[in-house]
Amino acid sequence: MPNNLISCDSGSDKIYHHSGITSTITNSFASPASSRGLSFDGTHLISCDHASDKIYHHSGITGIITTSFDSPGDNLYGLAYETAAC
């Protein structure tokens, strides 16, 4: 699987999928809200919204939300995904 950048813009409420680590956009879609953080678990995108304090689990790298839940605190601004060492 290629290494591509995934970015978000809270001003336009969009998520962008880039070609590699370049400014070339291969796909974009509406974020579920004011995304301020993204993570990727190797299969699915995870985004967060600071306005509603929700975390969203996407189906792949798409705008389709499979589940969401409240964040543990207020004003969530970032995400990271931890993987277990083999």
Domains and CATH numbers, the chain: 6-70 (2.40.10)
Tokens 């591509």, residue located: 4
Name the band, by pLDDT with cuts 50, 70 and 90, for residue 85. Answer: low
The pLDDT, as a whole number, for residue 86 is 60
Helix intervals (H) in the chain:
none
Picking from 54, 17, 16, 7, the residue whose alpha carbon sits closest to that of residue 32 is 54
Tens of pLDDT along 59-78? 999 999 999 998 887 766 67
What are the pLDDT digits (tens) for 32-41? 877 788 989 8
